[in-house]
Structure 1
């Protein structure tokens, strides 16, 4: 009867997540040659080609795509079996910016828990500035935030593009201030919007300031105001009104990961989080 080698399966999943033998080797703290050997051993054991590799790309074969989720389940079961005999419970405090968090967050946390059942995960949702301050004070182990113009540290996870969103019935007349909804005066996305309006000479007034993201979404969806949203997180039923009302274009930002984690297990958990983040977002438009 065939049996699966844990290290070989872990290597396969890393290759699948990162789509790179080089990056998989870095995450697994081994060599690219060792990664290739372990994958080959797994493929020979299963009698299936799992990864298609060319000089320009690394992608799963049809059999590899079928094997990926069972492979994840196998690794999760292995970790859970080990954790049953371990008292090594660790705490992981993660901050995710409100304008970054999307529907993929529960998937990220589930993937993180499956990777390391001994990890107690705490999540804080705030605006980027608040989380960056908390990170600098040592209150967070990691933070996924909108990039700060004054900071060049951290790992860039991808770009973020913004638009002016409102309900289809939203009305704005050029001789009246644009009605703008925002989370709080400290919100970086609010700053993007107000700076763009000021530079374009467009008068604006703030309505529904604060009250949380649900209040802003409700105000925008009801046609009472417009607001700037990442394009992938615009409230359902809203439309981009930028061209319609000749609103200024908005600069793109970056999504950045900051982390102080150094121990191998926590770093591996963080890498799992990053991989899941990129995988479930797909291309950020």
Structure 2
């Protein structure tokens, strides 16, 4: 059963307000009491929360993507302060690989579209890379990007809201392992 249908079945009176943004900004809003719960990439040494998944990253591009010879590696990323972008740029700089931003998307869907179109290579979590994109990192000796934890932080106490949040967490876990 799709997630929104499950949430409606839990409580027809539940009001959902979903905000999508950079993990750091969402964590700050949660800490300020502006959000009841957040699902974010773990940043720094923060403690607490419930681990939903480990996200391994790779260098994803369309099969037809060709690496430019003698030119900077074209990247498709989200704008700063994207944590995945920061990891990728740091890894390339440390490896001495020249890079340039070819596409800066306002959302991960746009970044994926640019990679699928063959415009650039995108640092992405493996679980969100769609069919049609392949990890070209090992083949082209790009630096490893490692992984990060995806965490749920919640201040929810209301039973109906808590049941809905449990459904969201279960759905996220099932998608992360499929």
Q: So what's the TM-score if we normalise by structure 2? A: 0.90
RMSD across aligned positions (CA): 1.9
Aligned position for 1:166: 61
Per the TM alignment, residue 184 of structure 1 is displaced from its structure 2 partner at its CA by: 0.9
Greater share of residues in strand:
2
3-state SS, counterpart of residue 270 of structure 1: helix
Contact 2:54–2:147 at 8 Å: present in 1 too?
Answer: yes
Q: Is the 8 A contact 1:208 1:215 kept in 2?
A: no
Q: Map of 1:1-285 to 2, 5 A cutoff?
A: 107-173=2-68, 175-279=70-174, 281=175, 283=177
Higher radius of gyration, 1 or 2: 1
Are 1:182 and 1:208, in contact at CA under 8 Å, matched by a contact in 2? yes
Q: Is the 8 A contact 2:75 2:100 kept in 1?
A: yes
Unaligned runs of 5+ in 2: none
Q: Are 2:53 and 2:176, in contact at CA under 8 Å, matched by a contact in 1?
A: no
Deviations 1:147-202 (A, max 9, x none): 11231221111211111001111111453211111111111110111111112111
Q: Deviations over 1:121-168 (max 9, x none)?
A: 111111212211221222211111111123122111121111100111
TM-score, L = length of structure 1: 0.58
Mapped partners of 2:51, 2:89: distance in 1:
25
CA deviations over 1:218-269 (Å, ceiling 9, x no partner): 2211111101111121133111111221101111111100111123332233
CA distance in 1, matches of 2:8, 2:49: 23
Distance 1:227 1:132 in 2: 24
Unaligned runs of 5+ in 1: 1-68, 70-106
